[in-house]
Structure 1
Amino acid sequence: MKRLFQKMQLNNAKPLLFSACLFPAALFAQQKNDTISKPEVLEEVLLTGVRATKQTPVAFTNVESEELKSRNLGQDIPTLLNFLPSVVMTSDAGNGIGYSGIRVRGSDATRINVTINGIPYNDAESHGTFWVNMPDLVSSVENIQVQRGVGTSTNGAGAFGASINLLTDGAKEKASAEIANSYGSYNTWRHNVKFSTGKISDHFEFSGRLSKIKSDGYIDRSWVDMKSYFLQGAYQDDNRLIKAVVFGGDQQTYQAWNGLEDKEKLKNDRTYNTAGEMYDKAGNFVGFYKNETDNYKQDHYQLHWNEKISPFWTTNLAFHYTIGKGFYENYKNDEDLSEYGIPAAEVNGELRETSNVVRQKWLDNDFYGLVFSANYKRKGLNVVVGGGLNKYEGDHFGYITHASDVPVADFPHPYYFDSSTKTDANVYGKVNYQLGSAWNFFGDLQYRRVTYEANGNDTGLVDDAFDFFNPKLGVTYNVNADNSLYLSYARANREPNRNDYENGNPEPEALNDFELGWRLSKDKLKLNLNAYYMRYKNQLVLTGALNDVGSPIRENSGDSYRLGIEADATIIALDNLIIRPSVSVSRNRNVDFYAQRDGELKDLGDTKIAYSPEVVFSNALTFIPIENAQISLLSKYVGEQYMSNLDLKDSKLKSYFINDLNASYTIKPEKVFNAITISALVNNIFDEKYISNGYFYSFDDTWTDPNKVITRDGAGYYPQATRNFLIGVTLAF
């Protein structure tokens, strides 16, 4: 923490600095001297290939683990990052635990590149990031960097809206242990225990964490039962760091991805969950299926070798392997048996071609590879060369485990199998050149090759290869010690994902990203102002519709763009009062958009891009009444947004404004414990009934009037929790 205080350089504000370390939304971190710029800190050398520094002409925010502690009471990482610039988070269960998502600049999770210690985390096929598989991961994270826009070259799928880089806990000098427990609304419990041996013989360190999180969820039956672990062993001397990291999660959740279409229920019974509804032959509701669940286990293995070869050269080599396996189970009413390869059967003299069935859809996959980088730093020159080679192998298969109306001899009855293979290789070179004290020039060239093969019933036969060249150029001008300006251009290309192939013949998408920024850093005022213009070709925009397992459907939109301004600041108003506002104003458009409506292909002109609010505002007001205590009011406004690209009123999500109250107090006893920290969080203190996410779909009605085609529309919504609380106690030894 002392190092963090020194970086902030806020004179005569020691109590204030303590609060800044604990405060959950550090929006000013772009100005901090980035720790990875110190070559002697081998813990963070492994991120030199994927992270931005203050010399990099891109918009980014760093968040230290200390800044998240008071709010880290069991909610997912998207919830904890909700108050960063241009961020909108969503939660299927409504309370930020379980299946949660994050959007940045209107780009959904499939377009946000996520790495953990520089290793790709996005699912190779869907491009999604499933935080539910890594519950309580933030308790083992040292810091997080969020880059907006294309950012710098990174491993894994291309960043089309943002990238999120997580660095897990570093080796600790001293032995320590920690027990944390929290409880809150909807019978939410979190328990975790952490330990570190500290340095043994000045070189070795072992540490770990075990966590368990359970919650009933805000939405009916949206319960979660999640477990996770984190283990690492490290060897470190003056010139090398070898670290083995193993972490994983095991989760079971009741499905809440259906949303709610019934507007009457949305008004009077907004927690109603349609998942698992069961009906008899006459169509009468008879109850809910108890095992309408998602079940998945994922384990990650990483081995990192960081070497300081000379005063000017450092290298990083990392091997990784991820194994995941699981299924979700559904009760399906009145299904056509032929779709499952089950023949019609005569039962009591009646031919049965349909039946209520229970099905399981399985995924069994392996993801492995290596990433590497070498960093040369001398005087005003900083060069990084690196790359990665990764391979994904996944099997998708399904079973019918029960059919209510027909005899089936071979339960569980297999009904599909799909095998997929994907390879992803990239090499890049980055240069930062400091010319005098004023100018810094940045260049970043990446070549990426992707091959994807699939042979399933859903995707059809896929055998595609993509070659992408992604250049990035920029310049930073230091006006004086307090002010700097930057300008950058970046090109990004991105392949379609599995769902895109299932829904048609998608084209790869391309993006040209222009960024212009100003950074001001004074003792009591830090300000970031960034303007961007992101021009897309064949952007795979969300249509608003979902497939049968709740995954968003996308389509190529031709030409489109995002134009916006982002501003965030840290203002020290008083010695015990900090204000941290951020605001994003944007224009997001599909250019000359065409859509099939009422049996005709219609030119709708320029339309708004789905799920892209034009105004996003947040503010964090922190008051420090006494030393070791802080109270924060966290506010978030998200403007209205459309769930389709058609500018239809029925697809509009209303704007919302919510406020959370966060408080913490640390006691430092003289015996037994090093510290006892009590934290409390009241979410949505004004009890707003808001909706942060939904879906929209259209279909052609050809039966009402046989002579006409009428396009009908529908929408569903994901209500978010009203006022709720979490309270926790952390005992540090």
Structure 2
Amino acid sequence: MKKVMFAMLIAFLMPYALMAQNVVLSGKVTDDQLQEPMAGASITLLGIGISTQTDNKGEFTFKNLKAGNYQLKITYIGYKTAENAVTVTKSTQLSIRLQKSMQLADEVVVSAIRATANSATTFKNISKEDIERNNFGQDMPYLLNQTPSVVVASDAGAGVGYTSMRVRGSDATRINVTINGIPYNDAESHGSFWVNMPDIASSVNNMQLQRGVGTSTNGAGAFGASINIQTSALSDSAYVELNNAAGSYGTLKNTLKVGTGLINGKWAFDGRLSRVVSDGYIDRGSSDLKSYYVSGAYYGKKSILRAITFSGQEKTYQSWNGIPEAKLKGSQADLLSHYNRNLGTLYNTVEDSLNLFNANPRTYNAFTYKNQTDNYNQDHYQLLYSKEINPELSFNGALHYTRGKGYYEEYKYGQDFTSYGMDSLFIGTDTVANTDLVRRRWLDNYFYGLTYSLNYRPSKIADFILGGAYNEYKGKHFGEVTWARYASQTENDYRYYDNDATKKDFNVFGKASINLNPLNLFADLQYRRIDYTFFGYDRNKNNVEQNAVLNFFNPKLGATYQLNGYNNLYASFAVAHKEPNRDDYTESTPDSRPKPERLNNLEIGYRHLKNNISAGANLYGMFYKDQLIVNGRINDVGGYIRENVDKSYRIGVELDGKWDINAKFSWALNASLSQHRIKEFHEFFDEYDANFDWIGQQENMHKNTDIAFSPSLIAGNEFTYRPMTGLNISLSSKYVSKQFLDNTSNDARKLDAFFVNNIRLGYQLKALGLRNIGLGLQVNNIFNEKYESNGYTYGYLFNGDLVTENFYFPQAGTNFMFSLNVKF
């Protein structure tokens, strides 16, 4: 830790010794025809990577530049991109005029669900340049790791395969994800599985991460955050790119991108092929991922029609059981005790035993069956249309269809025939009641629907949006026994369960924004209706088709006060509701079925954007009614499902800022200090006697405990040094305080705090007649921190003693990735 603190101290102090250069480059951006100032235009110094935005007067400033030649890139939605070459020998002021584009901008596709600079919403924009700079083949959560309140984890430990992220302690089931405004979350589990979209980052133009409830969007309700992704936009010219990366643990990424640019002023086509493979940090934690992206678009003066298809195919060896605490951190005696407790359940063979005692404690994987894999293919089809009806009125609409099909395969020991609907075997006078077998659990689903928005802006002070969506999901769930040591009466691929589900999701929202300069007011009202049909238990505990219909009203109100051209204050209050997931419904009866959750979200914030400094601070309160948590209780059909707790909350403060100190140095910093509490809940333990016969359940009451996986302090830092044109060196750091594995605030069930540092080097040059050659090196965890960022726990009473079993997912030590990107 001393090494880390020393390195960070040097990084922070170095810029102050190098600020003698004080040439200033400033300017004003205006509309070419109306001569009006353009607030929010993006200004970038190419080759250096410094960016800023114009203030409310259309003005921008770069301070502490070195005298020399610079290339400015100026962008604004709906206007042609401008590039200006300028030689700076002394302080210089520019006047820049932007011309309106002859084509409608791609950004209008997602404008209805995006927050803007003056929105009373807490958000972070991630640009295409940010994504490209960090894209070495790891999944999307790792590209968002340096945004406030985010914690990421990888089952295989190296950021490839099954990865996850939490925002403000909320997991993937509470983070709404849309791609071009179209919902991505699974309709039943509510999760977003990035492994099904390998290398999607290479086809992303920009993203916006909204924390809290955010603005009304499509799909599952945003109950902690929302991620709005916009895929590739129009390129100015034809291009071919080869992007390759290779590094530790046999990780390889190969990407081919092609695009036509604008053909005859109207047509454009883009495509991508990607392959990502990795052995994983964890034993046998391999991933074999393939994907493609194809887009064809027609650009008219007042309209865009774009057809998109993208697909992901994954084969991932299962590493989702984690590592027992006794193996990872305990003594040999602890491990032996754990083994004896779980003999016949987790450990069944000599191979299991040898694997447990002989494997590396940090890379151990309990699975040894050669085809213990997850296999899934997901195809997406989108048809997007945008039309500017007149200068005040525009329309966006989309049709979408997603086809997913796949299974996970596993070897199971000593399975009862009755659990699979099979008869016992009689061999002579012996009865065989169980068997070893291989099974596959399938998910075969369809998701389709439409989204729309109508944007009306009658004047500069008023803006109205009417939008919504209708989506249908049809999911087939079934399991097959593909092999059994004793086959009973079955044949190959015997189907031992089969049930379907249908979910219809309708929402409509209206948004209004009134700009009474310096005060901006907004209202956002959404109605959402869910109709879910599924197989579950009735009151007589028979598994029959059931139906649940839910109606939600989600209002949002807010205001932004513009203090001056570069400072504003905002405040908002939003209500969100969330339905229970598939397991909550199917593993309960109408009498034990949990209620929907409700969230009241308050956000108060401050933003500063001037010259070379952007900064923000916000206070938030997320107050839950009937939040669903796991408490260990068995319900009336013998299932361990989530139950509602009456009151719980998350409150905190978030800081986010960036300082471009001069042309060579910049410093980005974010921090979140928070508290997450459940007012009262009841924990249940199974109780067993000395013969391991189940006795019943014991109940403990807890008050004012921490919500699981909710660290009180998250901090990120990135320091970037540009010693010469085209070369940048970055040191990024991430600190996450301790987290509890359950809701009891018990230090015996926790993840320790960790502090991880990475170095990234990037060099861009033009040579050999190529448009650009990019070289990159990323060294992760440079101080070889041994840490775990995810885990789970369970406990039970055995012969009067409490037994706690913790499992962890260790993350990789020092590792590297090298990239070579060539643009033609």
TM-score if structure 2 supplies the norm length?
Answer: 0.82
Deviation per CA, 1:148-171: give whole Å up to 9, x if none: 000000000100100000000012
Do 1:34 and 1:53's aligned partners in 2 also have CA atoms closer than 8 Å?
no
SS at match of 1:173: coil
CA 1:153–1:699 in structure 2 vs 1: closer, same or farther (change >3 Å)?
same
Deviation per CA, 1:268-318: give whole Å up to 9, x if none: 999xxx9x9884499866992100000000000000110010011110010
SS at match of 1:593: strand
SS at match of 2:723: coil
Do 1:141 and 1:169's aligned partners in 2 also have CA atoms closer than 8 Å?
yes
My pick for the range that moved more, 680-689 or 588-597, is: 588-597
Deviation at 1:425, TM superposition (A): 0.3
Aligned to 2:721: 623
Deviation per CA, 1:626-645: give whole Å up to 9, x if none: 11110000100000010101
Do 1:619 and 1:636's aligned partners in 2 also have CA atoms closer than 8 Å?
yes
Do 1:470 and 1:492's aligned partners in 2 also have CA atoms closer than 8 Å?
yes
Segments of 5+ residues of structure 2 without an aligned counterpart are 1-40, 46-50, 54-59, 80-99, 336-341, 356-366, 635-639, 688-696
CA distance in 2, matches of 1:652, 1:545: 21
Alignment of 1:552-701 (within 5 A): 554-596=642-684, 599-669=697-767, 671=769, 673-701=770-798
Aligned to 2:62: 11
Residue 453 of structure 2, aligned match among 365, 368, 373? 373
Aligned to 2:20: none
CA distance in 1, matches of 2:489, 2:372: 22
Deviation at 1:699, TM superposition (A): 2.9
The residue type paired with residue 238 of structure 2 is A
Deviation at 1:482, TM superposition (A): 1.9
Alignment of 1:48-447 (within 5 A): 48-266=111-329, 279-280=348-349, 288-347=368-427, 349-377=429-457, 378-436=459-517, 438-447=518-527
The residue type paired with residue 103 of structure 1 is R
The residue type paired with residue 239 of structure 1 is K
Deviation at 1:264, TM superposition (A): 2.9
Do 1:277 and 1:285's aligned partners in 2 also have CA atoms closer than 8 Å?
no
CA 1:528–1:542 in structure 2 vs 1: closer, same or farther (change >3 Å)?
farther
Deviation at 1:396, TM superposition (A): 0.2
Deviation at 1:333, TM superposition (A): 1.2
CA distance in 1, matches of 2:651, 2:172: 20
CA 1:508–1:460 in structure 2 vs 1: closer, same or farther (change >3 Å)?
farther
CA distance in 2, matches of 1:669, 1:545: 65
Deviation at 1:696, TM superposition (A): 1.1
My pick for the range that moved more, 44-53 or 117-126, is: 44-53
1:518 aligns with 2:606: yes
Deviation at 1:406, TM superposition (A): 4.3
CA distance in 1, matches of 2:188, 2:494: 26
CA 1:21–1:695 in structure 2 vs 1: closer, same or farther (change >3 Å)?
farther
CA 1:14–1:573 in structure 2 vs 1: closer, same or farther (change >3 Å)?
closer
Do 1:246 and 1:302's aligned partners in 2 also have CA atoms closer than 8 Å?
yes
Aligned to 1:508: 596
Deviation at 1:698, TM superposition (A): 2.5
TM-score if structure 1 supplies the norm length?
Answer: 0.91
Do 1:307 and 1:315's aligned partners in 2 also have CA atoms closer than 8 Å?
yes
CA distance in 2, matches of 1:372, 1:175: 31
SS at match of 2:285: coil
Do 1:631 and 1:663's aligned partners in 2 also have CA atoms closer than 8 Å?
yes
SS at match of 1:501: helix
Aligned to 1:25: none
Do 1:309 and 1:315's aligned partners in 2 also have CA atoms closer than 8 Å?
yes
SS at match of 1:219: coil
Aligned to 1:27: none
Do 2:104 and 2:302's aligned partners in 1 also have CA atoms closer than 8 Å?
no
Aligned to 2:29: none
SS at match of 1:66: helix
Deviation at 1:67, TM superposition (A): 1.0
Do 1:394 and 1:420's aligned partners in 2 also have CA atoms closer than 8 Å?
yes
The residue type paired with residue 482 of structure 1 is Y
Do 2:213 and 2:222's aligned partners in 1 also have CA atoms closer than 8 Å?
yes
Do 1:542 and 1:610's aligned partners in 2 also have CA atoms closer than 8 Å?
no
Aligned to 2:820: 729
CA distance in 2, matches of 1:277, 1:649: 25
1:715 aligns with 2:803: no
Do 1:85 and 1:618's aligned partners in 2 also have CA atoms closer than 8 Å?
yes
Aligned to 2:8: none
Deviation at 1:647, TM superposition (A): 1.4
CA 1:2–1:653 in structure 2 vs 1: closer, same or farther (change >3 Å)?
closer
Larger Rg: 2
Deviation at 1:33, TM superposition (A): 9.4
Alignment of 1:455-466 (within 5 A): 455=535, 461-466=545-550
Aligned to 1:549: none
Do 2:522 and 2:559's aligned partners in 1 also have CA atoms closer than 8 Å?
yes
The residue type paired with residue 11 of structure 1 is F
CA 1:652–1:314 in structure 2 vs 1: closer, same or farther (change >3 Å)?
same
My pick for the range that moved more, 51-60 or 533-542, is: 533-542
CA 1:233–1:63 in structure 2 vs 1: closer, same or farther (change >3 Å)?
same
CA distance in 2, matches of 1:125, 1:662: 39
My pick for the range that moved more, 478-487 or 601-610, is: 601-610
SS at match of 2:469: strand
Do 1:15 and 1:624's aligned partners in 2 also have CA atoms closer than 8 Å?
no
CA distance in 1, matches of 2:201, 2:347: 38
CA distance in 2, matches of 1:225, 1:282: 26
CA 1:583–1:681 in structure 2 vs 1: closer, same or farther (change >3 Å)?
same
The residue type paired with residue 442 of structure 1 is F
Do 1:610 and 1:641's aligned partners in 2 also have CA atoms closer than 8 Å?
yes
CA 1:390–1:144 in structure 2 vs 1: closer, same or farther (change >3 Å)?
same
Deviation at 1:511, TM superposition (A): 0.4
SS at match of 2:438: strand
Do 2:398 and 2:451's aligned partners in 1 also have CA atoms closer than 8 Å?
yes
